[in-house]
């Protein structure tokens, strides 16, 4: 499907603009001469220096969201609470109620295009997902508040598509690259602390996506989105298009950070059972932080989850511009200048 819109003639609001993906999208918008706006909880002096018009506040506040949305023609919604552990109410407030606020603000302000960032975890019920497409149903049960609330949010976004508001939901899987504040630091931190364990043998295949490819895909969707467009009301998996063994990918990331490869593992069943016990203890004692392992994390690390991205290639004309090898080189160069503390 060819573009129906020239983004350079629009104003684009990115929620979660100070986040890993949000910032990457904003930088690409600025490079194309787009009037770029950000809505984020924290102050964003670096974004303002780049030329982004910043709005400070949370998607949990309807008035704040509406005020920011009123300045835009298109909304790209990336704000979310991620993680394998935490207060379910906090996940619901940001991921579900926050997304509902964004949709309602678009309706109130007459915004006709909403690109929503989702996750493939919305269809992960704990079993292997191998080459599945977007016809895969949501599972009946989730082992974590994150995928559960993201699934509910995605349903709401897609149901909102109609003659006055076009919506699309993108599902990038395991985003990584320079400035990654979550995936790489977490792996490196556990490795240095001697707490890194592979769950299972590490041979299960997973999809990942390099940060620039994920950002590009959101702009491709925005260019093709309008009420009545074929992509409106649909979800799309996004990845590098080259599944890789999870143990191999983790070693690549460790090597890029100058760390040794993982050497120890734990059986998948034992990790899942241990996660259930630890979750119970943390809830009972109301302990701070998060368990060393949770049921959801044990499943994620030990199961295959890779996806057919044929629909994104066809409808969005998505093609990963940065290969995994090139992305790892870029990450390695960045980490030399910005080592994980």
Question: What one-character-per-residue DSSP string does 75-143 give?
Answer: EEE------SSS-HHHHIIIIIIHHHHHHHHHHHHT--EEEEE--GGGG--SS-EEEE-TTPPPPS--S
Residue 1 has pLDDT above 90, yes or no: no
Per-residue confidence band for 10, with pLDDT thresholds at 50, 70 and 90:
very high
Per-residue confidence band for 238, with pLDDT thresholds at 50, 70 and 90:
very high
Kindly state the tokens that stand for 31: 């490079």
Per-residue pLDDT, 129: 97
Cα–Cα distance, 72 to 57 (Å, whole number) = 16
Residue 205 lies in a domain: no
- Is 318 one of the annotated active-site residues of the chain? no
Contact by Cβ (8 Å): 123, 132: yes
The mean pLDDT of 199-221, rounded to a whole number, is 97
Cα–Cα distance, 301 to 199 (Å, whole number) = 6
Residue 143 lies in a domain: yes
Residue 276 lies in a domain: no
Per-residue pLDDT, 4: 83
Per-residue pLDDT, 180: 93
Q: Give the angle subtended at the CA of 189 by the CAs of 127 and 40, to the nearest 5°.
A: 80
Residue 260 lies in a domain: no
Q: Which helix (H) or strand (E) holds 154?
A: helix 145-159
Kindly state the tokens that stand for 168: 């699309």
Assign residue 140 the CATH number of its domain. 3.40.50.720
Residue 252 lies in a domain: no
pTM of the predicted structure, to 2 decimals: 0.95
Across the chain, mean pLDDT equals 95
Residue 78 lies in a domain: yes
Contact by Cβ (8 Å): 120, 150: no
131 phi/psi in degrees, rounded to 5: 70, 25
Per-residue confidence band for 314, with pLDDT thresholds at 50, 70 and 90:
very high
Per-residue pLDDT, 3: 85
Residue 331 has pLDDT above 90, yes or no: yes
Per-residue confidence band for 341, with pLDDT thresholds at 50, 70 and 90:
confident
Among the options 146, 210, 236, 318, which is catalytic? 146
The mean pLDDT of 125-151, rounded to a whole number, is 96
Per-residue pLDDT, 120: 97
Residue 127 lies in a domain: yes
Contact by Cβ (8 Å): 150, 122: yes
Q: Give the count of domains, the chain.
A: 1
Residue 22 lies in a domain: yes
Per-residue pLDDT, 5: 85
Cα–Cα distance, 42 to 28 (Å, whole number) = 21
Share of the chain above pLDDT 70, in %: 100
Give the count of beta carbons closer than 10 Å to the beta carbon of residue 33: 10
Residue 137 has pLDDT above 90, yes or no: yes
| Domain span holding position 230 | 8-173+210-239+307-321
């Amino acid at each position: 499907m060819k573009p129906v819109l020239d983004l350079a003639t629009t104003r684009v609001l990115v929620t979660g603009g100070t986040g890993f993906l949000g910032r990457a999208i904003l930088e690409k918008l600025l490079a194309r001469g787009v009037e770029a706006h950000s809505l984020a909880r924290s102050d964003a002096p670096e974004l303002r220096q780049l030329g982004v018009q910043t709005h400070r506040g949370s998607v949990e506040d309807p008035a704040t969201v509406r005020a920011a949305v009123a300045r835009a023609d298109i909304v790209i919604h990336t704000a979310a609470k991620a993680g394998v552990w935490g207060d379910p109410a906090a996940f619901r407030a940001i991921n579900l109620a926050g997304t509902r606020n964004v949709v309602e603000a678009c309706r109130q302000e007459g915004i006709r295009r909403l690109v929503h960032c989702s996750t493939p975890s919305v269809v992960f019920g704990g079993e292997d997902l191998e080459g599945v497409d977007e016809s895969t149903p949501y599972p009946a049960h989730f082992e974590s508040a994150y995928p559960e609330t993201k699934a509910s949010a995605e349903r709401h976004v897609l149901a909102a598509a109609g003659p006055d508001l076009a919506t699309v939901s993108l599902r990038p899987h395991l985003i990584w690259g320079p400035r990654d504040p979550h995936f790489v630091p977490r792996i490196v931190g556990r490795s240095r602390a001697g707490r890194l364990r592979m769950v299972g043998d590490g041979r299960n295949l997973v999809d990942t996506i390099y940060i620039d490819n994920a950002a590009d895909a959101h702009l491709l969707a925005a260019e093709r989105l309008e009420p009545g467009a074929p992509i409106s009301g649909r979800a799309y998996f996004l990845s590098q298009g080259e599944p890789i063994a999870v143990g191999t990918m983790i070693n690549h990331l460790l090597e890029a950070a100058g760390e040794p490869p993982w050497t120890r593992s734990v059986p998948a069943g034992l990790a899942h059972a241990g996660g259930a016990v630890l979750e119970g203890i943390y809830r009972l004692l109301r302990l701070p932080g998060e368990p060393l392992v949770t049921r959801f994390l044990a499943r994620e690390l030990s199961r295959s989850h890779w996806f057919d991205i044929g629909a994104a290639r066809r409808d969005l004309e998505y093609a990963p511009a940065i290969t995994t090898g090139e992305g790892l080189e870029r990450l390695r160069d960045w980490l030399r200048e910005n080592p994980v503390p």
